[in-house]
Amino acid sequence: MLKVEGVGKSYRKGSLFSANKQHVLNNVSFVCKRGECLGIIGESGSGKSTLGRLLIGIEEPDQGTVLFEGKRIGERKERRGNISAVFQDYTSSMNPFYTVEQAIMEPLKLKNIPRKEASGKIDRLLHQVGLDSSYRTKYPHELSGGEAQRVCIARAVSTEPKCILLDESISSLDGSVQIQVLQLLKKLREIYGMGYIFITHDIQAAAYICDRIIFMRQGRIEETVSIAHLKDVQSAYARKLLHMIIP
């Protein structure tokens, strides 16, 4: 479904005119199969979010390619409805002047889904993420963090994309709400069969939801491991992370 080949990305370091470059991603290659949940773990600054932006095509790699079902992801029309994203900061990813209904309606409108059909769909989606129809008319400031994140998830799922990028999507929620949202993501995946790219610091959350995990360090893939073989990771970095959950 998603094929990443030899991807590299650098950003200019320092001032606008500086020639110094910081290599954020180096020769990153992997595939994500249809319906797979692929975790990306790494410490702060290792390039996870940068990779996420390249995967959904909102930025272009300097080297290499990102292909979605054989086509370059940079094309807007390839992206639309195929891949969506949920970020950590749900408050800024929601328009404060949009009600929940308007927020979920937006991607459905872009896909030209008739209004009546979309309206029924919104009720169904809200129900699936554990909110009732009374939430339709609420504004973001009237929602708790967990509720707002559920609305963002409903919105990401609404067009039934083949893949959803989740970048630290549960990190700012408190413990019990994190578990609820993880369970919700698992359930939605059973209903819709989409794949997830799950970016996180939290190896426990990744172990709960992912089929495979990529360990990233300093812009490179250090190791990739399936959940069934998580205990057998080789690299020192992955072992260190793992020791935090299995002493």
Say whether residue 49 binds ligand ATP (CB under 6 A): yes
131: three-class secondary structure by DSSP: coil
Which helix (H) or strand (E) segment holds residue 195: the answer is strand 195-200
Among 49, 149, 158, 178, binds Mg ion (CB under 5 A): 49
Say whether residue 88 binds Mg ion (CB under 5 A): no
Say whether residue 48 binds ligand ATP (CB under 6 A): yes
- Tell which positions 127-166 bind ligand ATP, by CB under 6 A: none
Closest CA to 167 of 237, 83, 223: 83
Which residues are within 8 A (CB) of 17 and not within 5 positions of it... i.e. 6 or more apart?
none
Say whether residue 45 binds ligand ATP (CB under 6 A): yes
Among 11, 14, 92, 111, binds ligand ATP (CB under 6 A): 11
Task: Report phi then psi at 231, rounded to 5.
Answer: -65, -20
Among 2, 4, 7, 24, binds ligand ATP (CB under 6 A): 24
Least Å distance, CB 44 to ligand ATP, is: 3
Least Å distance, CB 178 to ligand ATP, is: 16
CB-nearer residue toward ligand ATP: 26 or 180: 26
DSSP for 24-72, please give it: EEEEEEEEE-TT-EEEEEE-TTSSHHHHHHHHTTSS--SEEEEEETTEE
